[in-house]
Amino acid sequence: MDMDMDMDMKGPPATKKALVAHVLAAAAAALVLIWCVHFRGGLALRSKADDKQLIFNVHPVLMLLGPIVLGAEAILCYRSLPLARGARKKAHLALHAAGLAAGALGLYAVFKFHAESGIPNLYSLHSWVGAAAISLYALQWAAAFLAFFFPGASPPTRRRAAPWHAVAGLLVFVLAVGTAQLGFLEKLTFLQGPPLRLPKYGAEAMLVNFTALVVLLLGVAVVLATVTVDGTRYNTIM
């Protein structure tokens, strides 16, 4: 019998909170694709000298689809997927692995874009927080793999580590959402400055702001779907 007690849940049913998060995740993915494909011209890891923007466009798409959308689905699947705990653990691991891979490729895209465009790396708050977020995401995944999958820690160690793993994972997810907010703001600021001078109330600016809002709401929805609030703890002060 498996006694690791990773999350202390037994076949949880899907919840309304999780459904809201799924809808927001799908909306965020659709919006960022519309922005980068329709407004920014498409995606490419290789492009002509006069259109390096296509390389950059890979970055926001993969960073959103990876650590945020797939990361959200990985967190939610352990809470809401109506399967045995072992199956949920494997789905949780696989989705986070896919999110980490997408994030790594998105990070590669922005470094490639900077190198080919003559732009310095790691000069902004967005880049600093983003580098920390993807590094912590990788460390969190590796530590969980070693502790809960292979070679696997002892059952008492897994029981003690499980709450810390859950809290750390949620904090890394929140950090990724915060990084995305900084990224949307930074990119929109660049677009609204010279030489492009994107209209501040134009369709693209509104789309970017709305996408950032949806991502923020996704972060809130995932936290609310994951954290259990026990009102009985406050009965003594009522």
What are the pLDDT digits (tens) for 121-137? 999 999 999 999 999 99
**pLDDT value of residue 229:** 57
- Number of Cβ within 10 Å of residue 168's Cβ equals 16
Q: Cα separation of 184 and 206, whole Å?
A: 11
Selected residue with higher pLDDT from 159 and 10: 159
Residue 185 carries which side chain, given as an amino acid letter? L
User: What is the structure's pLDDT at 51?
Assistant: 87
In the prediction, which pLDDT does 50 show? 78
Specify the pLDDT at position 150.
87
How far apart CA 216 and CA 210 sit, in angstroms, is 10
Say if residue 12's pLDDT is above 80. no
Where residue 80 falls among pLDDT bands split at 50, 70, 90? confident
**pLDDT value at residue 11:** 41
Task: State the pLDDT at residue 56.
Answer: 97
* Residue 198 pLDDT grade (very low, low, confident, very high; cuts 50, 70, 90): very high
State CA 183 to chain mean position distance.
13
- Percent of all residues in the chain with a pLDDT value above 90, rounded to a whole number: 72
* pTM reported for the whole predicted model: 0.89
pLDDT digits (tens, 9 = 90+) for 148-195: 988 888 889 989 989 999 999 999 999 999 999 999 999 999 999 998
Residue 113's pLDDT band (cuts 50, 70, 90): very high
Structural contact between residues 180 and 26, judged by C-beta atoms closer than 8 angstroms: no
Does the pLDDT of residue 138 top 50, yes or no? yes
